[in-house]
Each structure stands twice: as C-alpha cells, then as structure tokens.
Amino acid sequence: MFALKTVCVDALGESVSSIGFGCASLGGRVGARRGTEALERAYHAGITWYDVAPSYGDGMAESIWGQFASKKRGSVYVCTKVGMRPSDTSAAMRLLKPLARASLAVFPGIQPRLSGMRPEPFKVPLSAELIKTSIDDSLRRLRTDYIDVLALHRPTRKEVVREDIIRALERIVQDGKARAISIAGNIDVGIDGLDESLPYRLLQIANNPLEPNLQRSKKSARSVTFVTYGSFSTLGPLVASIGAKKEILNGLYEMGYRGDLTEIAAAFVVDYALATNSAGVTLFSMFRKDHLGFNLRRLTRLPALHQLNRISVEISNELRQNRPDDRRLE
Ligand SMILES: NC(=O)c1ccc[n+]([C@@H]2O[C@H](COP(=O)([O-])OP(=O)(O)OC[C@H]3O[C@@H](n4cnc5c(N)ncnc54)[C@H](OP(=O)(O)O)[C@@H]3O)[C@@H](O)[C@H]2O)c1
C-alpha cells in the first residue's frame, strides 16, 4: 500500500488526505452496515477527510459517521454543514429502504429511477438561531465536541455577507465548536465569500471538465482551501464525446489511457479532479471497494495538467457543437 498524498489546510494548520470521502449517500442509498464498512476501508487506506451534512443520507449520515469516528476522532477531520434539511421520510418509505437497497445490489441500472423517487432535501433560510441549534444537533449526532469545518450549505449571496450570520459563525469558532468556516455551494456565491473581511477559509464547489470552477475561483489572492466534488456526474457526456470524436480518443491514448470508453472516461475525470485541485481536497463517493481502489491508484500516475486541460477543452467544444440549442443559435 502506498502512502496517500496529504495537503495542508491553512485554516486548520494541519495536513489531511488529499482525497476526501463524500458521505451524501450514507444512510440513504447505502445502509449503515455497508456504509460503516466503506468508511473503515477508506480510513485504513489513509483517508482522513470526511464530508457530511445534516441532510445527507435522509438525515442519517452524521449519526452513522459519529459511530464510525467515536474511537478515532483525533485522527480524522470532518466537515458538516448548516442550511439544508432532509425531507420528512414517511414510515412507508423507511420500510421500503432495505428493499430498495437489496434491489439496487442486484440491478444497479435502477439507481437513477430510485434516486428520482427519493424525497429531496430542502433549503432553510439561514439565521443566527439556526446556526446555533444546527451545530449543537450536529455535534450530538457526530458524537464530538468540535467540528473541524462548518460550511454554509448552498447559501444565497445575501446570506454569506449578512452581519448576524457572520457574528453567529464567529461565535461558533470562539466557543470552540468549529475550527474553521466554509461555503459549500454555488461558485458565484463562493467567490463573493472569498473577501478578506469574511470568515470563510475553505470553499466547497463542483469542479469537473464540464464545470471548471477552480479556474475561475483561483484568481482570489486569499489563502483558501478548495474542496471539490462532482466528478462522476459528467461520466455519461464524457463517454459520448470521447466516442464521437476520434481525435479526443487518440489524445487520451497518447497520454497512456487504456480500456473501454467508460474506463477511460472514469480515469480521466478522477485525474482531472485531482490534478486541478492538487493543493486542496477532492471529494469522491466511494462506497464500493473497487471505486476506492481505483480513485486512490490514480493519485500515483497523474498526467500533466496542461494535457488534461487540453483534452478537457476539446471535450467541452465537442459537447457544445453537438448541443441542439447551440445549433439553433448558429
Ligand atoms: N456542497 C454541495 O452542495 C455538494 C453537492 C454534491 C456533493 N457534495 C459532496 O461531495 C461528495 C461527492 O459527491 P459527488 O456528487 O461528487 O459524487 P461522485 O464522487 O461523483 O460519485 C458519484 C457516483 O460515482 C461512483 N463512483 C465513485 N468512484 C467511481 C469510479 N472510479 N468509477 C465509477 N464510478 C465511481 C460512486 O459510487 P459509490 O459511492 O457507490 O462507490 C457514486 O455512485 C458528496 O458525497 C458530498 O459529500 C457536496
């Protein structure tokens, strides 16, 4: 086993694994037993950064993570959030969950349909009172007396600069309940939050070949740690564009990529995410053992950033040319 790369999070003054475990499905798509096994596997592979939220896993992710981390709290880092709530799961839905998971194990193709049936979490307006009660609830579920990072979950532009919210966040840090504050959400809101006068020292944003958000946000002079996600949402369009344009596939072959189109696209999205955010933390959902192994192995053989960017631009151009709306505008 190789040593997992670490990165320094300036706001904490400590080094964490450069790959983080995204727990959005913990307790929802993935049940507690399988989820805990996956967290343990990741921990033993060197992953020290975990991302949860009160809304994740139909409201179960924090409690399951808390149980997992209870005997290793000093050697793991956790980011949780405030601002989204899980929707109320009916008793009938709760009873159906194990059945849905068992069906998913046998027929993985039904996942999009099952995801469509899951009640969506919803945004709640931020206030000083909500921040105070939400972090206390999170601390209880996470079985800890401090959170490494508290993120505003999909805040609005107004919320990130509001005086009462900023004071409440500063109070949380002063009280030792959270060590650092972050924004997790939309890139434009995140960029607003990078102003030196504001308390946000980490930014959690989507970043992938089709949403190269890091390129935009790195213009800020402020020392900020980027936590990125959203790699595999692009897999379908990427497979289509690689298959449609020979030059893109040849370029990937020249860079050493091998396998069928899906394998090549999966390797490319992981490499892109890791190479573009080499100083920050890249989140992946990795409940499957083979996904964890695959994503960690990519760290050891990353192609040069300029090569990845070149292919990424070609893929975006290919997709833009073939988008029906764009053709109408031409
Ligand atoms: N701030 C926000 O608003 C926000 C929004 C979205 C996500 N997030 C955070 O980011 C985390 C990651 O979310 P994401 O949307 O970016 O998910 P992702 O990492 O793109 O994973 C999505 C799916 O891809 C699968 N996968 C992982 N590695 C793979 C591989 N090597 N080959 C093929 N499939 C693979 C995962 O499977 P398995 O899990 O079954 O292994 C999962 O089903 C979330 O859990 C959450 O913590 C934050």
Domain boundaries, the chain: 6-86+121-233+277-304
The predicted-structure confidence for 131-189, as pLDDT tens digits, reads as follows 999 999 999 999 999 999 999 999 999 999 999 999 999 999 999 999 999 999 999 99
Cα-to-centroid distance, 137 and ligand 1 (Å): 25
Q: What mean pLDDT comes out for the span 207-218?
A: 88
Taking the CA of residue 81 as reference, the ligand 1 atom at the shortest distance is 1
- pLDDT(2) > 80: no
The angle formed by the CA atoms of residues 188, 232 and 319, to the nearest 5 degrees, is: 75
Taking the CA of residue 294 as reference, the ligand 1 atom at the shortest distance is 31
The protein residue whose alpha carbon is closest to atom 42 in ligand 1 is 285
- Which of 6-15, 159-168, 190-199, 280-289 is predicted with the least confidence, judged by mean pLDDT? 190-199
Closest CA to 140 of 55, 74, 54: 54
User: Strand, helix or coil at 41?
Assistant: helix
- Which of 3-12, 110-119, 123-132, 234-243 is predicted with the least confidence, judged by mean pLDDT? 110-119
The predicted-structure confidence for 227-237, as pLDDT tens digits, reads as follows 999 999 999 99
Whole-angstrom Cα distance, residue 269 to residue 322?
Answer: 20
Cβ neighbours of 97 (radius 10 Å): 18
pLDDT at 330: 35
pLDDT at 218: 65
pLDDT at 193: 92
The domain 6-86+121-233+277-304: what is its CATH number?
Answer: 3.20.20.100
Q: Residues of 54-92 as b/e, b for ≥16 C-beta within 10 angstroms?
A: bbbbbbbbbbbbbbbbeeeeeebbbbbbbbbbbeebeee
Closest CA to 143 of 211, 70, 71, 216: 70
How far is CA 145 from each of CA 177, 187, 307, rounded to the nearest angstrom? 6, 30, 45
Highest mean pLDDT among 111-125, 157-171, 217-231: 157-171
Instruction: Find the helix or strand (DSSP H, E) in which 157 lies.
Output: helix 157-161
109 φ, ψ to 5°? -65, -15
With a 6 Å cutoff on the Cβ, whether 291 touches ligand 1 is yes
Whole-angstrom Cα distance, residue 264 to residue 295?
Answer: 13
pLDDT at 329: 39
Cα-to-centroid distance, 93 and ligand 1 (Å): 23
Could you tell me if 77 and 47 are in contact, meaning their C-beta atoms sit under 8 angstroms apart?
A: no
With a 6 Å cutoff on the Cβ, whether 24 touches ligand 1 is yes
- Both tokens assigned to 81: 């959030």
- pLDDT(316) > 70: yes
Whole-angstrom Cα distance, residue 143 to residue 43?
Answer: 18
pLDDT at 327: 44
pLDDT at 99: 75
pLDDT at 289: 98
- pLDDT(280) > 80: yes
Cα-to-centroid distance, 286 and ligand 1 (Å): 7
Whole-angstrom Cα distance, residue 183 to residue 163?
Answer: 16
The predicted-structure confidence for 41-85, as pLDDT tens digits, reads as follows 999 999 999 999 999 999 999 999 999 999 999 999 999 999 999
Whole-angstrom Cα distance, residue 321 to residue 174?
Answer: 52
Q: Mean pLDDT of all residues in the chain? A: 92
Q: What mean pLDDT comes out for the span 292-304?
A: 95
Whole-angstrom Cα distance, residue 295 to residue 71?
Answer: 26
